[in-house]
């Protein structure tokens, strides 16, 4: 086995707050920690689970499940509607605390992100101590727990952060990345979605190690093209991505689940334009602009499609965001027509708005 003190040129941490929305609710109402708690939509309607605490997860409740199904699985669960403004405030406090320990981070959401640990740790042994300090800082600032994975690559760090929840810390030593991933289900690899997993399973490939072992011909037969090579690299622990520091990869989104499926295009466009207005207001308050606009569609069978476009220059203009969102909706519906149970808009690749001041000569 590799020596834990062996230096690595790249030491990356992945931080994931444990059941974040539910954990924030439990801060204000500690009695909820001992009962199944589901944060999401109306269980009597068509809402979706945003997150569930670990008590609810024991009954098979999980994120993205319909709240009606969550209620069937756990009839005595407490259901709460999300308070996104409060979650954003707590998230800011979390990341301020993290940056006190590790200055360079890439947030990928309110509740997760990557840490550039080689800045503050010479090797993985020191990185473990830094990770413990990060967990203590988050707990001290907010009362929340987080799980951490530490490895030489993003993909391995992300998988590691999910292996010992809640509150765990998993370190994968340099040179042990492929061995760590090998026994795990291929679905744990970022990028392996339902279709890729189905094709892999049909070929008898269920573990990351089996995917990693495929030669080029066998890989092409199962997953042709760039995606196959990318996923095989990830199964081997290979990932050249570094932290994205030019602009944090945090997104802002709005979505609506309808009481009844909607096929009327005018209503769908109105919904998207209304969301665009609210997103533009949030961008303006944060003095930010967005370069990427995405539209999300969910069909009655729960299949979901997302279409995105990226602009050369960021915008916070509601009309422009709405126009792009509607165009993306039409593109998706041209590929698969039908009524929708949910639509949403997301803006991402956020940047600080540049304010120009003109001075008379």
Mean pLDDT score across all residues of the chain: 91
Euclidean distance between CA atoms 200 and 204, whole angstroms? 6
Query: 252-352: what fold?
Result: Dna Ligase; domain 1 (3.30.1490)
Q: Are 194 and 48 in contact (CB under 8 A)?
A: no
| pLDDT given at position 8 | 43
Q: What is the chain's percent helix, strand, coil content, to nearest 5? A: 40, 25, 35
The first and second tokens of residue 317, run together, are 């203009």
Query: Cα angle vertex 17, ends 12, 18, to 5°?
Result: 125
Is the C-alpha dihedral spanning 43, 48, 52, 58 positive or negative?
positive
| pLDDT given at position 209 | 97
| pLDDT given at position 354 | 57
Q: Is 323 a catalytic residue?
A: no
What is the CB neighbour count within 10 angstroms for residue 137? Answer: 19
Which has the closest alpha carbon to 350: 110, 82, 153, 117? 110
What is the CB neighbour count within 10 angstroms for residue 25? Answer: 22
Q: Which residues, listed in sequence order, are joined to residue 306 by a DSSP beta bridge?
A: 296
Q: What is the pLDDT of residues 225-266, one digit of tens each?
A: 888 999 999 999 999 999 887 545 577 889 898 989 999 999
Euclidean distance between CA atoms 49 and 42, whole angstroms? 9
Q: What is the DSSP letter of 40?
A: E
Q: Which residue has the tokens 């920690």?
A: 33
The architecture of the domain spanning 12-18+85-175 is 2-Layer Sandwich (3.30)
Compute CA 137 distance to the chain's CA centroid, rounded to the nearest angstrom: 22
The pLDDT of 170-197, averaged and rounded, is 94
DSSP string, 208-261: HHHHHT--HHHHHHHS-SHHHHHHHHHHTT--------SS----EEEEEEEEEE
| pLDDT given at position 46 | 82
Compute CA 315 distance to the chain's CA centroid, rounded to the nearest angstrom: 23
Query: 20-83: what fold?
Result: MutS, DNA mismatch repair protein, domain I (3.40.1170)
Domain with CATH 3.30.1490.100 in the chain: 252-352
Euclidean distance between CA atoms 327 and 330, whole angstroms? 5
Domain with CATH 3.40.1170.60 in the chain: 20-83
| pLDDT given at position 7 | 38
Euclidean distance between CA atoms 200 and 71, whole angstroms? 33
E strand or H helix that includes residue 244: none
Is the C-alpha dihedral spanning 51, 82, 285, 17 positive or negative?
negative
Q: Which residue of the set 112, 177, 248, 271 is catalytic?
A: 112
Q: Is there a cis peptide before residue 166, judged by omega within 30 degrees of 0? A: yes
| pLDDT given at position 359 | 45
Q: What is the pLDDT of residues 21-59, one digit of tens each?
A: 999 999 999 999 999 999 998 898 888 999 999 999 999
| pLDDT given at position 2 | 37
Q: Which residue has the tokens 């915008």?
A: 315
Q: Which residue has the tokens 């639509």?
A: 343
Query: 179-235: what fold?
Result: DNA polymerase; domain 1 (1.10.150)
């Amino acid at each position: 086995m590799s020596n834990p003190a062996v230096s690595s040129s790249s030491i990356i941490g992945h931080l994931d707050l444990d059941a974040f929305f539910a954990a924030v609710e439990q801060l204000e109402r500690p009695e909820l920690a001992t009962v199944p708690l589901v944060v999401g939509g109306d269980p009597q309607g068509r809402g979706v689970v945003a997150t569930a605490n670990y008590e609810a997860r024991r009954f098979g409740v999980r994120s993205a499940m319909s709240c009606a199904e969550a209620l069937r699985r756990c009839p005595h669960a407490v259901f709460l509607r999300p308070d996104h403004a409060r979650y954003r405030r707590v998230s800011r406090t979390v990341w301020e605390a993290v940056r006190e320990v590790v200055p360079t981070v890439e947030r990928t959401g309110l509740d997760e992100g990557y840490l550039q640990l080689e800045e503050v740790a010479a090797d993985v042994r020191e990185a473990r101590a830094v990770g413990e300090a990060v967990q203590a800082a988050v707990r001290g600032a907010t009362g929340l727990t987080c799980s951490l994975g530490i490895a030489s690559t993003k993909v391995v760090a992300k998988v590691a952060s999910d292996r010992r929840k809640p509150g765990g810390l998993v370190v994968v030593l340099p040179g042990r990345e492929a061995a760590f991933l090998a026994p795990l289900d291929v679905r744990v690899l970022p990028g392996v979605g339902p279709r890729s997993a189905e094709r892999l399973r049909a070929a008898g490939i269920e573990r990351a190690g089996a995917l990693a072992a495929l030669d080029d011909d066998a890989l092409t037969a199962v997953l042709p093209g760039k995606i196959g090579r990318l996923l095989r690299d990830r199964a081997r622990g290979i990932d050249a991505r570094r932290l994205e520091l030019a602009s944090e990869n945090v997104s802002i989104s709005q979505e609506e689940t309808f009481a009844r499926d909607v096929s009327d295009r005018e209503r769908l466009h109105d919904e998207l334009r209304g969301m665009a207005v609210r997103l533009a207001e949030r961008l303006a308050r944060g003095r930010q602009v967005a370069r990427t606009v995405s539209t999300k569609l969910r069909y009655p069978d729960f299949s979901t499609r997302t279409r995105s476009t990226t602009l050369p220059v960021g915008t916070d203009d509601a009309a422009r965001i709405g126009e792009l969102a509607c165009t993306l909706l039409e593109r998706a519906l041209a590929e698969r027509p039908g009524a929708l149970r949910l639509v949403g808009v997301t803006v991402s690749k956020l940047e600080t708005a540049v304010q120009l001041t003109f001075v008379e000569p």
